[in-house]
Structure 1
Amino acid sequence: MSEDFLHYVWQHQYFDKTDLRTSGGEEITVLKPGFRHEDAGPDFPGARLRLGEVEWNGAVEIHLRASDWARHHHQVDPKYDQVILHVVLTDDVPVRRTNGTPVPALALGTRLLPGLLARYEALVEAPAVALPCAPLLSQVSDLTKIMMSERALLERVERKADAIMALHEHLAQDWEATAWHALAAAFGFQKNSEPLARLAKALPLAVLRRHRHDQRQLEALLFGQAGFLAENEETAADDYISDLRKEHEFLRHKYGLGAAALAVHEWNYLRLRPANFPPVRLGQLAGLLFARPAFFEALLTARDVAALTAFFRAPAPAYWRTHYRPGRPGKVPALGLSSIHLLITNVVVPLRVAYARHTGEGTLVESSVALLAELPAEHNQYTDRYAGLGFSHRSAADSQGLLALHQGYCQPRRCLHCAIGSQLVRQPRLLPTGRSLPPPTP
């Protein structure tokens, strides 16, 4: 059994309350169990209990064994002085606050409903499949599955927005610079996200702004700082690369950029098709920066996916439409629709949500998340597996929700935090003792 299960039992009050007493024999009446708290401090602050004839307001702490109190050093942590009840599976030792006063204990070991524990263990100990509850999904309503998928989607968008907000703080609250860093990393499409994120740091937007209307200088800065302008056998007779190299050398000295430049070996080519090679993606990013000078405003005000698709279809420089590596010619396709959809999903939506949170524009959050419903569903081994189990999968909103469900709940077996798993664990049915599982508390 995990401590997480005891949290669930206390939160929903799923235990036998007949003649409920502390280990010391004091009668307990639970007036309010408190709210679950996952940061530092007691597990359930905001609790209200009657112990004997006295009403207490404070916090409840949960452990499997009472001795875990000392093992976690709560006896020397003032945050735990507010604990009014220590809820445990086994009360093996008395515990005290920092001032030496005892903390009353409630032992639940003999009060747990056996069917509840059995159903929980059946979920978390199921074989490693996409959903531990897959064999039981027929017992779950479509409404519950939809609700949980939507909740997971919003949590995923919020996490991405949190990352954007952290970037925004790091960049002195400059939204244009935030958009530049987020776009640059996203143009790496996973395999090269990390070096492209470092390129954004190696090439501050303040420098790019000064040359945004000169395509040659813009390309020299981007490709020079990326390390793609070095002379070698393939580029020795390439006039375009030679010209950019000279321009970059001048700009590098002018702005003191040399130490921050990347080396060509820092880019990843393994298992990438030529259309995904780093110089190709960088060329597409260069074309976007040149054609869309005020790109943050454009991303913020675009009304729909069609407008954003037009925004991202800025043409790459002529050279990078006919070369997939410096000095190596080949026909290169334009930025594809599926790539644009990924950029909308991973950059535009969280960027707009982060900005909306910063400014308090609630309608912008709704319209931004709604963009995902306009995009087609993503197909991969996880989303397809969930779709095969009856989950809705008609748009990118569904795909993102299913990915979040898998990564945040199913894979780590956080079944008790999931509406689906929670419904299955508390499913009313006859238990071996003849008792029925009580309905959820209001």
Structure 2
Amino acid sequence: MKEDFLHYVWQHQYFDKTQLVTEDGQSLTIMRPGFRHTDAGPDFPNARLQLGEVEWNGAVEIHLKASDWYRHQHQQDPKYDQVILHVVHTADQPVYRTDGSLVPVLELTSRLPAGLLLAYKRLLEQQNEPALPCGALLGQVSELTRTLMLDRVLLERVEQKADLITALYETLGQDWEATTWHALAAAFGFQKNSEPLSRLAKALPLSILRRHRHDVRQLAALVFGQAGFLVEQENTSHDLYIRDLQQEFAFLRHKYNLAGTGLALHDWNFLRLRPANFPTVRLAQLVGLLHARPTLFDALFTAVDVPALEQFFTTPVPEYWLNHYRPGKPGKVPALGRSSVHLLITNVVVPLRVAYARHIGSADLVEASVALLEQLPAEHNHITDLYDALGFRHRTAADSQALLALHRGYCTPRRCLHCSIGSRLVQPKLVTR
């Protein structure tokens, strides 16, 4: 048994509550069980109980064994002095607060419904399933329950991404334009090069780029120079374009005191990437975007739907990079693909809009931003394939994002009792059918 199970039991009050008595002999009436708390401190603050003749307001702490109170060092933590009831599966010893006062203990061992325990054990037996631990039991859960859970985790995923945007906004001095630049730069790394591109955005402030947005040559010199691709190399010694960028970057580096602030060639990942995904190709696409869209943030909000956003990302790159994958190495380069644009909308545009909508207090803009995911085709990868095989809906990017959130936030860490699907499988009403 896991502690999460007792959290679930207490939260939903799925135990026999007739003639409740604590281990020290006090009668117990539960007037309010409290609210589940996941940060540091007691598990269920804001509980209201009657112990004997006295009514108490405080917190409830949950453990498998009463002795876990000492194993977790709660007897030394003043935060736990507010605990008015210790709920355990096994009351193996009395526990005390920092001032030495006894904490009332309620043991649940004999009060758990047999059907609830059976359903919980059956769920645990499915823990080796590759996707959903409860995959073999899904037939017992309605389509409505699945749909509601996917709706919930989709919003959780978008909110988490929006939180990162908000944190970035605060770090950058509450500048939405700079926030957009940093978020887009990192996203153009498409996982393999997200980290170095994020560092490049820090090494190349938007305040500098703004001054040169109308000169694509200077933009390219700044971006490729700070990225470390304009160093002397054997295959570029006779490349006139690269030589020109080197000279321009030498001037701009001195002008803006950029020496020692950029990246090096070894910071970038080329291994196991198709040439169209090389970081040099992505940098060229960023140069084209910066040149064609003088105001990134405003332009993204002017685009009201997916076709308009696709147009936003459809910008010409410097001519040299139409025919070169790397400096001095020719080859025909395709434009930024539609699937890549859709990933940028999913991972940058939607969270950025949600973060801004929360900032200005616009619930309508939040809803409209999340709805963009319904206009995008579904993503397909090894994770979504697992859920496809289990019969989950998968038609749009909203579905894909929800499945990824379900997998990473609930199924992989086996947080089954925090999930509506797993919770439904162990509900007493379902068990007794």
TM-score, normalization by structure 2: 0.97
Q: CA deviation at 1:133?
A: 1.0
1:319 correspondence with 2:320: yes
Which residue does 2:251 correspond to in 1?
250
Which residue does 1:233 correspond to in 2?
234
Measured in 2, the distance between the counterparts of 1:427 and 1:100 equals 39
Alignment of 1:69-88 (within 5 A): 69-88=69-88
Measured in 2, the distance between the counterparts of 1:30 and 1:227 equals 65
Task: Determine if contact 1:168/1:178 at 8 Å carries over to the other structure.
Answer: yes
Gaps of 5+ in 2: none
Q: SS state of the match for residue 46, structure 2? A: strand
Q: CA deviation at 1:123?
A: 2.1
Which residue does 1:200 correspond to in 2?
201
| Counterpart code for 1:198 | R
Measured in 1, the distance between the counterparts of 2:363 and 2:302 equals 15
Aligned residues: 432
Measured in 1, the distance between the counterparts of 2:102 and 2:327 equals 73
| Counterpart code for 2:169 | H
Alignment of 1:142-161 (within 5 A): 142-161=143-162
Q: CA deviation at 1:429?
A: 5.5
| Counterpart code for 2:290 | L
Measured in 2, the distance between the counterparts of 1:232 and 1:55 equals 79
Measured in 1, the distance between the counterparts of 2:224 and 2:259 equals 13
Q: CA deviation at 1:301?
A: 2.9
Q: SS state of the match for residue 110, structure 1? A: helix
Task: Determine if contact 2:65/2:88 at 8 Å carries over to the other structure.
Answer: yes
| Counterpart code for 1:90 | T
Q: CA deviation at 1:384?
A: 2.1
Which residue does 2:10 correspond to in 1?
10
Which residue does 1:424 correspond to in 2?
425
Structure 1 residues 427 and 313: CA distance shift in structure 2, 3 A:
farther
Task: Determine if contact 2:115/2:428 at 8 Å carries over to the other structure.
Answer: no
Q: CA deviation at 1:356?
A: 1.1
**Deviation digits for residues 167-189 of structure 1, max 9, x if unmatched?**
11111111111110100000011
Q: SS state of the match for residue 429, structure 2? A: coil
Q: Which moved more, 1:76-85 or 1:246-255?
A: 76-85
Which residue does 2:340 correspond to in 1?
339
Q: Which moved more, 1:275-284 or 1:86-95?
A: 86-95
Structure 1 residues 149 and 429: CA distance shift in structure 2, 3 A:
closer
Alignment of 1:182-221 (within 5 A): 182-221=183-222
Task: Determine if contact 1:345/1:372 at 8 Å carries over to the other structure.
Answer: yes
Q: CA deviation at 1:272?
A: 0.8
Q: CA deviation at 1:298?
A: 1.1
1:59 correspondence with 2:26: no
Percent of residue pairs identical: 70
Which residue does 1:94 correspond to in 2?
94
| Counterpart code for 1:248 | F
Measured in 1, the distance between the counterparts of 2:319 and 2:259 equals 26
Measured in 1, the distance between the counterparts of 2:317 and 2:257 equals 27
| Counterpart code for 1:75 | Q
Task: Determine if contact 1:69/1:95 at 8 Å carries over to the other structure.
Answer: yes
Task: Determine if contact 2:177/2:297 at 8 Å carries over to the other structure.
Answer: yes
Alignment of 1:307-386 (within 5 A): 307-386=308-387
Measured in 1, the distance between the counterparts of 2:26 and 2:48 equals 16
Which residue does 1:113 correspond to in 2?
113
1:296 correspondence with 2:294: no
Task: Determine if contact 1:124/1:413 at 8 Å carries over to the other structure.
Answer: no
| Counterpart code for 2:268 | W
Q: SS state of the match for residue 259, structure 1? A: coil
Q: CA deviation at 1:128?
A: 3.4
**Deviation digits for residues 200-231 of structure 1, max 9, x if unmatched?**
11101111111111111111000000111122
Which residue does 1:440 correspond to in 2?
none
Q: Which moved more, 1:226-235 or 1:67-76?
A: 67-76
Measured in 1, the distance between the counterparts of 2:360 and 2:429 equals 45
| Counterpart code for 1:92 | D
Q: CA deviation at 1:307?
A: 0.6
Q: SS state of the match for residue 50, structure 2? A: strand
Q: CA deviation at 1:117?
A: 2.3
Task: Determine if contact 2:5/2:417 at 8 Å carries over to the other structure.
Answer: yes
Which residue does 2:175 correspond to in 1?
174
Q: CA deviation at 1:18?
A: 2.5
**Deviation digits for residues 375-414 of structure 1, max 9, x if unmatched?**
0011112112212222111100000001100111111110
Which residue does 2:36 correspond to in 1?
36
| Counterpart code for 1:9 | V
Task: Determine if contact 1:156/1:400 at 8 Å carries over to the other structure.
Answer: yes
Q: SS state of the match for residue 34, structure 1? A: coil
Which residue does 1:433 correspond to in 2?
none
Q: SS state of the match for residue 412, structure 1? A: coil
| Counterpart code for 1:253 | H
Q: SS state of the match for residue 234, structure 2? A: coil
Measured in 1, the distance between the counterparts of 2:121 and 2:109 equals 16
Measured in 2, the distance between the counterparts of 1:80 and 1:302 equals 51
Measured in 2, the distance between the counterparts of 1:87 and 1:41 equals 15
Measured in 2, the distance between the counterparts of 1:301 and 1:38 equals 39
Q: Which moved more, 1:167-176 or 1:415-424?
A: 167-176
Q: CA deviation at 1:15?
A: 1.2
Which residue does 2:137 correspond to in 1?
136
Q: CA deviation at 1:76?
A: 2.3
Q: CA deviation at 1:260?
A: 1.3
Gaps of 5+ in 1: 431-435, 438-442
Which residue does 2:276 correspond to in 1?
275
Q: CA deviation at 1:99?
A: 2.1
Q: Which moved more, 1:64-73 or 1:317-326?
A: 64-73
Task: Determine if contact 1:216/1:244 at 8 Å carries over to the other structure.
Answer: yes
Measured in 2, the distance between the counterparts of 1:148 and 1:105 equals 34
Structure 1 residues 429 and 324: CA distance shift in structure 2, 3 A:
closer
Measured in 1, the distance between the counterparts of 2:162 and 2:234 equals 44
